[in-house]
Every structure is written in structure tokens, then in C-alpha cells.
Amino acid sequence: MIDGEDVGGNLAHLRWFITDVAVQGSGAGRLLLPAALGFVDAGGFEATHLWTFSRLSAARHLYETHGFVLVEERPGRQWGKGALEQRFVC
């Protein structure tokens, strides 16, 4: 899901990028992420950012493959457990 209304600064927010466990590793993410970024480009946004967790290495690899760069890290408890939250921008 892309959110471009509540972020400001002509920045798009990739809020949720989740595939069903049954299709993880099948290449679905490699197809869906460029489609999401194409939507962002068509909307005229200058950049896209997302938040993820440090332990999601497959997701990080996918994001970095599509041009995202780590710009911020901080400890967080957003999902009930402690985790190192990471913000990426493309």
C-alpha cells in the first residue's frame, strides 16, 4: 500500500509490502515492488520511504535491489517486541 497524503514533502510512504507465506520466495515481491514504485513515479512523488526491521534480511535485499538506501535506525516496540527499526528511502 502506498500512502502519499499524510507524509508531506512530496514523499510517498510504502506502508505495507507483504506477500502470503505460500508465495514468498517465488518472485512475487520482485514483480510487485516495481509496480508499486511505478505507481509512485506516475503520481509525481519525489521519493519513497518505508520502515522495516533489521531481522528481515530478504526484504532488505529486495528494497536495496530496487534502489532503497538505509537512512535511519532506531530501537522500537511498534509490534509488541523490541526490534531495530530501519527507514529506507528511494
Mean pLDDT of the chain: 88
> How far apart are the C-alpha atoms of 88 and 71, rounded to whole Å?
6
Domain 2-89: CATH class, spelled out: alpha beta
- pLDDT tens for each residue of 31-50: 889 999 999 999 899 999 99
Residue 58 has pLDDT above 90, yes or no: no
Q: What is the pLDDT of residue 76?
A: 82
13-25 in b/e form (b: 16+ CB < 10 A) is bbeebeeeeeeee
- Tell me the Cα Rg of the chain: 13
Taking the C-alpha atoms of residue 76 and residue 27, their distance in angstroms, rounded to an integer, is 29
Domain residue ranges of the chain, discontinuous segments joined by +: 2-89
Output the pTM of the full model.
0.85
Which pLDDT score, from 0 to 100, does residue 7 have? 67
Better-predicted residue by pLDDT, 5 or 86? 86
Between CA 8 and CA 67 the distance in angstroms is 21
Measured CA distances, 47 to 12, 38, 51, 88 (Å): 6, 12, 14, 10
Per DSSP, the three-state class of 87 is strand
- Strand, helix or coil at 25? coil
